[in-house]
């Protein structure tokens, strides 16, 4: 088996472990008309209606699992998925919307979900499905803020390289549904939330911007993010006014810990990066590789992360015996501060930067990819590189350093594959899941 195929095999094993359908079925069970979720048991005879709502890239396959468990017991349902991420459902409705910059379809779908939550009462069991991408898909601008305002703010923060926590602190304070407000709308219904985490540390207030979780951030925190990236003069008058009114106490805060509306909410993480990395390690071991997870919270600039991984690879090689083979695994979610005019994504940029870091090193290969099958606003999931990638590109008349400087990793890998006949650009299409990114390094002394 070639290193290329080994990398793909390990990546696919990681994806299979966090398949949303399997994750829900592993967590949820129905016995004698009682729904079991961990230690929690819900007697379905107590509920007149079961309503399913949700949002995220992986939510369609989660909904498939809910339909397989509850079937016609479901009274109504609606989920919002990223464009192209639908799955066959017979009861629960689906709306496709844009990601990462929200669209009107997301707004319309969210309004319907909010209405469904508001109609829920004490005899309603509301099942909420959340996964990565929900922050952009579950969108309801607050006050006088328009969708265009939110689109502009999101775009500015993404381009500035804001972290997911910073981005969500702003999103929550411009929203009528995030920061615990969906749970607030649904109270006094019993709300059961199944979550496929795409956030480091599985922080409930950050995943999907915490629509059913308490929010520790404030309007002041949101404004601090705007100021940190120098965007105070770039945001719209409505956004600026709303945040300033919030800081002045004239607009209601997000839902905080201890709120009555959260007392009937059960947030449960059914799948996360840890499960994916554990499966990747097991698959690597089956291939005869000594496998080690070196980082479960990879974050910061993609180029800095590439340097860290290159150092880890060199250190491991220094401690290996001749003919020994190892696999180093990491995962998380990096960022890219865009200064060039090219196209790419954090995984493609990390892979290109890594290729330059290990230029000439014979014994190292890397796959870096999003578990959702997407990386930036293009059709790639990530890329595969080794110690010969940069030198080979130069032989083919390409300058990898220039592509990296222009944040143009997408066109680098596309052109490299065209000229070389190789398949370094990883294009999978939507995988149906989303637990951040994964990096797989193969080392052979």
The domains located in the chain, with CATH, are 19-140+175-217+254-271 (3.40.50.10180), 274-444 (3.40.1480.10)
Q: What is the pLDDT of residues 208-234, one digit of tens each?
A: 999 999 999 999 999 999 999 999 999
Q: Does residue 215 contact residue 172 with C-beta atoms inside 8 Å? A: yes
Average pLDDT over residues 96-125: 95
Say yes or no to pLDDT of 260 above 90.
yes
What pLDDT sits at residue 377?
Answer: 87
Greater pLDDT, 214 or 337: 214
Per-residue pLDDT at 168: 85
Q: Is the pTM of this model over 0.95?
A: no
DSSP of 31-59: ETTEEEETTEEEEGGG-SEEEEEEESTTH
Mean pLDDT of 387-409: 98
Which residues are bridge partners to 93 per DSSP? 78
- Distance from first CA to last CA of the chain, Å, rounded? 17
> Across the chain, what does the average pLDDT equal?
96
Residue 30: pLDDT band (50, 70, 90) is very high
Helix (H) or strand (E) holding 325: strand 325-332
Phi, psi of 289 (to 5 degrees): -100, 140
Reported confidence tier of residue 322, pLDDT bands at 50, 70, 90: very high
pLDDT at 400: 98
**pLDDT tens-digit readout, 402-427:** 999 999 999 999 999 999 999 999 99
The neighbour count for residue 378, using CB atoms within 10 Å, is 17
Predicted pLDDT at 165: 82
The answer to whether 295 touches 331, Cβ cutoff 8 Å, is yes
Asked if residue 298 lies in contact with residue 369, where contact means CB atoms within 8 angstroms, the answer is no
Angle between helices 273-286 and 3-17 (to 10 degrees): 140
| pLDDT value, residue 225 | 98
Pinpoint the alpha helices (H) of 104-175. 104-119, 134-137, 147-160, 164-172
| pLDDT for res 51 | 98
| pLDDT tens string 162-196 | 987 899 899 899 999 999 999 999 999 999 999 99
pLDDT at 253 over 80: yes
pLDDT band at 100 (very low <50, low <70, confident <90, very high): confident
pLDDT tens, position by position, 349-359: 999 999 999 99
- Tell me the CA distances in angstroms from 258 to 122, 173, 215, 400, one per residue in order: 20, 19, 11, 53
For range 68-89, the mean pLDDT: 96
For residue 114, the model assigns a pLDDT of 98
User: What pLDDT shows up at residue 217?
Assistant: 95
193 DSSP β-pair partners = 128, 267
Q: Tokens for 52?
A: 């399913």
134-169 pLDDT, tens per residue? 989 999 999 999 999 988 998 899 889 898 789 989
pLDDT at 1 over 80: no
- Quick check: 64 and 140 in contact, CB under 8 A? no
Task: Report the pLDDT value the prediction gives residue 161, as an integer from 0 to 100.
Answer: 87
- How far apart CA 273 and CA 383 sit, in angstroms, is 19
């Amino acid at each position: 088996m070639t290193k290329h195929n080994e990398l793909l095999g390990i990546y696919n094993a990681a994806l299979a472990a966090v398949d949303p359908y399997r994750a829900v079925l592993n967590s949820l069970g129905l016995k004698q008309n009682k729904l079991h979720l961990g230690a929690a048991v819900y007697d379905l005879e107590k509920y007149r209606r079961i309503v399913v709502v949700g949002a995220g890239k992986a939510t369609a396959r989660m909904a498939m699992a809910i339909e397989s468990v509850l079937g016609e017991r479901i009274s109504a349902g609606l989920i919002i998925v990223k464009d192209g991420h639908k799955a066959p459902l017979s009861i629960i409705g689906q709306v496709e919307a844009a990601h990462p910059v929200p669209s009107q379809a997301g707004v319309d779908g969210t309004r319907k979900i909010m209405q469904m939550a508001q109609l829920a009462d004490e005899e309603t069991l509301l099942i909420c499905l959340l996964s990565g991408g929900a922050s952009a898909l579950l969108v309801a601008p607050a006050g006088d803020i328009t969708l265009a305002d939110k689109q502009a703010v999101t775009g500015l923060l993404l381009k500035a390289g804001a972290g997911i926590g910073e981005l969500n602190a702003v999103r929550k304070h411009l929203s009528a549904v995030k920061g615990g407000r969906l749970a607030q709308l649904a109270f006094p219904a019993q709300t059961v939330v199944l979550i496929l985490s795409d956030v480091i540390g599985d922080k409930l207030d950050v995943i999907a911007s915490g629509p059913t979780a308490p929010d520790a951030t404030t309007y002041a925190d949101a404004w601090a993010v705007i100021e940190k990236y120098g965007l105070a003069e770039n945001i719209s008058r409505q956004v600026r006014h709303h945040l300033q009114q919030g800081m002045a106490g004239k607009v209601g805060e997000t839902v905080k810990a201890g709120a009555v509306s959260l007392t009937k909410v059960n947030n449960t993480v059914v799948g996360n990066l840890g499960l994916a990395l554990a499966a990747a390690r097991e698959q690597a071991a089956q291939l005869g590789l000594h496998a080690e997870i070196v980082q479960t919270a990879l974050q910061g600039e993609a180029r800095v992360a590439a340097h860290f991984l290159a150092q880890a690879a060199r250190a491991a090689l220094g401690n290996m015996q001749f003919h020994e083979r190892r696999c180093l695994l990491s995962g998380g979610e990096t960022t890219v501060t865009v200064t060039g005019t090219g196209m790419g994504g954090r995984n493609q940029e990390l892979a290109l930067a890594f290729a330059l870091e290990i230029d000439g090193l014979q014994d190292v290969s890397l796959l870096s990819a999003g578990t959702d099958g997407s990386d930036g606003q293009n059709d790639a999931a990530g890329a595969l590189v080794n110690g010969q990638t940069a030198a080979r590109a130069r032989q083919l008349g390409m300058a990898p350093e220039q592509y990296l400087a222009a944040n143009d990793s997408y066109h680098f890998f596309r052109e490299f594959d065209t000229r070389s006949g190789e398949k370094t650009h990883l294009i999978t299409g939507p995988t149906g899941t989303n637990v951040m990114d994964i990096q797989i390094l193969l080392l052979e002394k």
